[in-house]
Amino acid sequence: MTTGEIGSDLEIATLTSLTLPYQLQLTLGKFKPVIGKINILHPHAFSFVDFPKLTANYFDSEGMALEGASLSWLVPNPYDFYQELTIEAGRVGAEPNASLVRGENSQLSYVGHLKNFFDVSQNSTLEFGITGLNGPNHFGYSTTMGGLDLTYKWKPVQYNVLQSFTWQNELLLSSMRISGAAVAKTHGAYSLAEYQFAQRWFVGGRYDYSQYPDDANRRDIAETALLRFQPTEFQIVALEFQHTERNYDRSTNQVILRFIFGIGTHAAHQY
């Protein structure tokens, strides 16, 4: 199947963001919580055309949003590396996702993430993160998750706009109570790599493995190849091929062509 898409993704609105003393920042409103590396991204900012199966199976096709508060703290440490702790609380949107719902009386969901960022060399960095999540699910009980993310980036100073390499990985473990006596324990993961071989050209590959939060017997395995051309910072043309194997349904092959044209001002994304 071949499709064309003109990207016009809308940012999730934030009511207010305050910088507080002691290297604290408070955000109030609707936002994408810090669950690993992928969930905080909007579709147009993600290298691949689609999000990993982990995101789609455990949350939604574009991740999860919360309505509430997010507090981040730049943690001082004696080793002088970047460390940020984020604590978030809120209710999920009116449309429930596969893992969490608003619950009775608008019950809250809670997210915690610790980001550790290191300079490996003049040309490369390493980021390691730990995520925890808890909230009500559609069975009337709660879902608890734990996650790890690891990202390596290489961008040589002498070839800054001509070459780069990114290797990114995430693992998510889920424990969903579905009845008084039954708990579904499942997991999902992905690993992606992307190489920039010219000023405007990128190639990439991704491997996905994902169960479903309420059923460990269902799983998706996908291999994805990507070719991306980026004429400017605000324009992307991407061609993606994906083969998906399912143990509960037939396997599929997809070819997706995406066009993105950005118009107007746009806030910066995290590194």
Instruction: Please report whether residue 142 resides in a domain.
Output: yes
Residues 90-101 have a mean pLDDT of 86
What residues make up the domain containing 18?
6-261
Compare 7 and 74 and report the one with higher pLDDT: 74
Determine contact, residues 241/225, Cβ cutoff 8 Å.
yes
Asked whether residue 80 carries a pLDDT value surpassing 80, the answer given is: yes
Query: What CATH number is associated with residue 189?
Result: 2.40.160.10
Instruction: Please report whether residue 96 resides in a domain.
Output: yes
First to last CA, the chain: 33
Determine contact, residues 109/89, Cβ cutoff 8 Å.
yes
C-beta neighbour count of 24 within 10 angstroms: 13
In the three-class reduction of DSSP (H, G, I as helix; E, B as strand; rest coil), residue 44 is classed as: helix
Sign of dihedral through CA atoms 33, 38, 41, 42? Answer: negative
Determine contact, residues 161/125, Cβ cutoff 8 Å.
no
Asked whether residue 13 carries a pLDDT value surpassing 60, the answer given is: no
> How many percent of the chain have pLDDT more than 90?
70
- Per-residue pLDDT at 44: 79
Range in 39-48, 199-208, 262-271 the model is least confident about: 262-271
Instruction: Please report whether residue 94 resides in a domain.
Output: yes
Distance CA 61, CA 59 (A): 7
Q: Render pLDDT for 126-136 as a digit per residue (tens, 0 to 9).
A: 999 999 999 99
Residues 17-46 have a mean pLDDT of 84
Range in 39-43, 120-124, 163-167 the model is least confident about: 39-43
Instruction: Please report whether residue 267 resides in a domain.
Output: no
Instruction: Please report whether residue 269 resides in a domain.
Output: no
Q: What is the domain count for the chain?
A: 1
Q: Mean pLDDT for the chain? A: 88
Residues 249-263 have a mean pLDDT of 90
Asked whether residue 24 carries a pLDDT value surpassing 80, the answer given is: yes
Residue where the block lists tokens 């473990």 = 173
**Total residues belonging to the chain:** 271
Determine contact, residues 258/241, Cβ cutoff 8 Å.
no
Instruction: Please report whether residue 236 resides in a domain.
Output: yes
